[in-house]
Amino acid sequence: MELSEHIWSAAGFVLMFLLGFFALFINLCAINYKLKLDRGCFWFFGIALVIFAAFRPIGLARDDFGYAELLNELCPNETCFGGKPIQRDFIWYHLVIWSAHLSLEGMLRVSMMLSAFGVAVKLILIDKLCQQRLLALVLFVPLCYIQYDLTQMRAGFAITWMLLGVFFLVRSKMTLATGLLFTNAAVHLQAVFSPMLLIYKVFRGRCIGFVFSILFFLLLIYSGLYPDGLLLKRLGFNSEYIPYTADFTGVSVFPLGYWPILLYGIFVCNTHSVGNQKLREVVSASLFVAIALAWLFALLPAMQTRLFEFYAVPLVFLAGNVGDSRVKITLTCLLALTLYLRLELFNDWVLG
């Protein structure tokens, strides 16, 4: 690991320490102006994250050079005429290729600024839907910001699109919510299952049914009763992804590292004091979609885990509404720290 990577890695740990410290201090201590202090710290750190997403060094995220290759294929020689045709993720690519007159580095910077805009929108949504904004931000960093807004930028922007849909669902703006969720696949193909969040009413007052459905899919996954490659091809999934499993010999079909997200989600989704009822229902639907896709793509570990975490991101909204319970506050911070350590020490996603 180079010196610069050590520096960024250390900076990531410092950020998580500061976020966790202030979140615990503000929420566990009896202090005056708690809500104002929480919101002030939230926006202080949040604005710093937006700026970093826009102006971070190119190459820090492991997918940066992959994006450079994609953009170069689409717009060779600083023009998009004669380049590779856009076959998916139309909205994201068309928001980026307007900068084709710039150098490749300039186009990458525009991509990062688009991600920074997505982060800003997510922060506004957290501000609107959460009472404990700093707690939500603590979980947001390892669950979404590092993996998606810094690394998988197209998927990160699609999460912004999806969370806007969640926001309008909670606010009962069904036309806007439906429009966003159904068009999200045009931002990134990974979001093609976003409309399934509209089943949220199924989980109204059905705590046992929600838990049973999660356990049912886990049973299918661990017993090996999941679709094989032939069935995935018949369902229309691109066959080029099916051999992907060859690179993951010995990998668990649903790694234990994802259990903390699942258990935390089950806990907060079924706690009546966490958020309002509609928010819990929508997040429950999102978690249901996440585990259902984990079953559907159990044959493809990379796709399975990416989709699971993609649709688990709305948990951030419940993390910001856990109330005064010391247990829930502490569990939220522990989950965030666990996820960050997993990313930083084991998966080597971005910060060194």
- For residue 184, what pLDDT is reported? 95
- For residue 100, what pLDDT is reported? 60
Does 289 fall in a domain? yes
Does 218 fall in a domain? yes
Residues 174, 201 contacting (CB under 8 angstroms): no
Residue with tokens 């999941």: 226
- For residue 302, what pLDDT is reported? 82
Phi, psi dihedral angles at 350 (to 5 degrees): -150, -55
- For residue 245, what pLDDT is reported? 45
* Domain extent at residue 213: 3-347
pTM: 0.91
Does 352 fall in a domain? no
Distance of alpha carbon 86 from the chain centroid: 24
Does 110 fall in a domain? yes
- For residue 2, what pLDDT is reported? 60
- Report d(CA 163, CA 126) in Å as an integer: 10
Residue with tokens 């993720």: 89
Does 280 fall in a domain? yes
**DSSP H or E stretch at residue 130:** none
| Tally of CB atoms within 10 A around 263 | 13
List Cβ neighbours of 198 (8 Å cut-off, separation of 6 or more).
169, 177, 178, 181, 285
* Digitized pLDDT (tens) for each residue of the chain, 352 residues in all: 465 667 888 888 899 999 999 999 998 886 777 888 999 999 999 999 999 999 999 888 888 888 888 888 877 766 665 666 777 888 898 888 776 666 778 888 999 999 999 999 999 999 999 999 999 999 999 999 999 999 999 999 999 999 999 999 999 999 999 999 999 999 999 999 999 999 998 887 667 788 899 999 999 999 988 888 777 777 777 645 454 444 444 456 788 889 999 999 999 988 877 778 899 999 999 999 999 999 999 888 888 989 999 999 999 999 999 988 899 999 999 999 999 998 887 654 444 3
Does 321 fall in a domain? yes
Does 169 fall in a domain? yes
CA neighbours within 13 Å on the CB side: how many for 84?
11
Q: How many domains does the chain have?
A: 1
- Report d(CA 241, CA 244) in Å as an integer: 5
Does 277 fall in a domain? yes
